[in-house]
């Protein structure tokens, strides 16, 4: 029963984390397009609160609940090739998360040198990761 609770909490944490991963780059799009100081300050506040208040705790919870599930079912780790692929993508996702944090710091220092078009494309990357991760978890192709 504990395993099912961990799995449910893991899924909730993932949903919260991805909400932030989808929304923060969208805020970057609007921030890059803003021309007045008041708008830039407003976006800096929104970005900081989203990253620190939702994304970081959600990422940490996702990882802790996932580690808990693996600890309770270590056989999965030994035989599930799909799990190894998923964990590799999660590592990539953590890297993307930290890239978002680095961009947030650049915006906070008013040092952004990228256009809103860049952030529109940047915003699509977590969609591809989510698609691949869900397929690996549900289909378990190997």
The DSSP element (H or E) to which 20 belongs, if any, is helix 2-33
The predicted model scores a pTM of: 0.94
pLDDT at residue number 40: 96
pLDDT at 79: 80
Q: What is the pLDDT of residue 80?
A: 80
Per-position pLDDT tens, the chain of length 142: 999 999 999 999 999 999 999 999 999 999 999 999 999 999 999 999 999 999 999 999 999 999 999 999 988 888 889 999 999 999 999 999 999 999 999 999 999 999 999 999 999 999 999 999 999 999 999 9
* CB neighbours of residue 10 within 10 Å: 19
């Amino acid at each position: 029963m504990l395993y099912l609770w961990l799995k449910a909490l893991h899924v909730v944490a993932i949903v919260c984390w991805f909400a932030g991963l989808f929304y923060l780059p969208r805020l970057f799009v609007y921030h890059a397009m803003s021309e007045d100081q008041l708008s830039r300050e407003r976006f800096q506040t929104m970005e900081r609160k989203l990253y620190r208040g939702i994304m970081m705790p959600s990422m940490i919870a996702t990882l802790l609940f996932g580690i808990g599930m693996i600890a309770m079912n270590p056989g999965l780790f030994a035989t599930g090739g799909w799990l190894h692929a998923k964990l590799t993508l999660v590592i990539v996702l953590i890297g993307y998360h930290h890239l978002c944090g680095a961009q947030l710091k650049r915006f906070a220092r008013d040092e952004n040198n990228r256009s809103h078009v860049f952030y529109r494309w940047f915003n699509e990357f977590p969609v591809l990761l989510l698609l691949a991760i869900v397929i690996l978890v549900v289909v378990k192709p190997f």
